[in-house]
Structure 1
Amino acid sequence: MLLFQVVRGLIELSLAMTAQARLGIVGVALLFVIGVGIRARRSGLAVGAAVLLALMMTQA
């Protein structure tokens, strides 16, 4: 269980750093919205933010 949490934290950190490097604060904000959508169990919010992040990453 601890290993899973450590790996998850490292993945979150690397995604945040990549998004910030490519998109600035907008990418980090979209990652935050994805996390909030998953935590609040609002799949529409999480999926919408993930799609926007993916589109912006391909355009950057």
Structure 2
Amino acid sequence: MPLFALALAAVIVGFEQLIEWHFGVVGVIGLCLLTIGVKARNVTCSCVGAVVLTMLLV
């Protein structure tokens, strides 16, 4: 189990670094807002995060 948690943490950190490298700090903020909104079941927060990431893709 600890090995799985460590591997999952490495994947998450790698994905966050990829987002930051590709989309900058605003991409990380959008990803964090989306993640926090989904985990907290807050529709407003997740929608704001999704809109930020969508605007970066467009």
TM-score, with normalisation over the residues of structure 2? 0.63
Identical counterparts, % of pairs: 25
CA RMSD of aligned residues (A): 2.3
Unpaired runs of 5+ residues, structure 2, are: none
Q: Does 2:42 correspond to 1:36?
A: no
Give the letter aligned to residue 7 of structure 2.
V
Post-superposition Cα deviations, 1:41-60, rounded to whole Å, max 9, x if no partner, equal 23x444x435753663x55x
**Does the Cα contact within 8 Å between 2:27 and 2:52 map onto a contact in 1?**
no
Post-superposition Cα deviations, 1:4-56, rounded to whole Å, max 9, x if no partner, equal 321221121111111111111111101211221132023x444x435753663
Aligned residues: 56
